[in-house]
Amino acid sequence: MSLIADKDSLLSDSSEKVKSNKSNSHGLALFKWFSEKFQAGSVHGSTFELISATIGAGVLTLPYALGKSGLTLGIIQAVICAALGYYSTSLLAKCGEMAKKYSYTELAMATYGPAFQFFVKTVFFLNNWGGCVIYTILITNLIGTSFSIFFPNLPDFLTDTDSYVWPPLYTTLIILPLSLYRNLSALRYACLAGFGFIMYLVFVIVYQSDKVADLKHNFQMADQFIWDGVKLTFPPLVFSYSCHANVLDVYHELRRPTIERMNVVLFRTMFVAAVVFIVVGAFGYLTFVDHIPYLNCPKNILLSFSYVNWPTSTVLAVLCIGVTINLAMPLGIKPSKDSLRDLIVFEKTEKVERQKDEEESGLKDSLLSETDDGSHAHQKKESMLLHISLVVFVVYSQMFVAMFAKSMERVITLLGASAFPLISYNFPCMFYLKLDKSPWYSPHRLFCHFINFTMFLLAIYCTYAFFIDSDDCKA
**Which residues are CB-contacts of 285 (< 8 A; sequence separation ≥ 6)?**
63, 64, 66, 67, 71, 74, 222, 295
Name the residue with higher pLDDT: 416 or 314.
Answer: 416
Confidence at 268, pLDDT banded by 50, 70, 90: very high
Confidence at 360, pLDDT banded by 50, 70, 90: very low
Name the residue with higher pLDDT: 186 or 83.
Answer: 83
Establish how many alpha carbons lie within 13 A of residue 114's alpha carbon, considering only the half-sphere containing its beta carbon: 7
Q: What is the pTM of this model?
A: 0.80
Confidence at 186, pLDDT banded by 50, 70, 90: low
Distance of alpha carbon 262 from alpha carbon 252, whole angstroms: 10
In the three-class reduction of DSSP (H, G, I as helix; E, B as strand; rest coil), residue 63 is classed as: helix
**CB neighbour class for 391 (10 Å; exposed up to 12, middle 13-18, buried from 19):** buried
Distance of alpha carbon 158 from alpha carbon 285, whole angstroms: 29
Cis amide linkage into residue 155, ω under 30° from 0: no
- 158-176 pLDDT, tens digit per residue, is 888 778 888 888 889 888 8
Calculate mean pLDDT across residues 64-68: 86
- Taking the CA atoms of 351, 357, 359 and 363 in sequence, report the sign of the dihedral they define: negative
Question: Rounded to the nearest 5 degrees, what angle is found at the Cα of 177, between the Cα atoms of 176 and 178?
Answer: 90
- 22-41 pLDDT, tens digit per residue, is 445 554 555 455 555 556 67
Among 54, 83, 47, smallest CA distance to 265 is for: 47
Q: Write down the pLDDT at residue 336.
A: 84
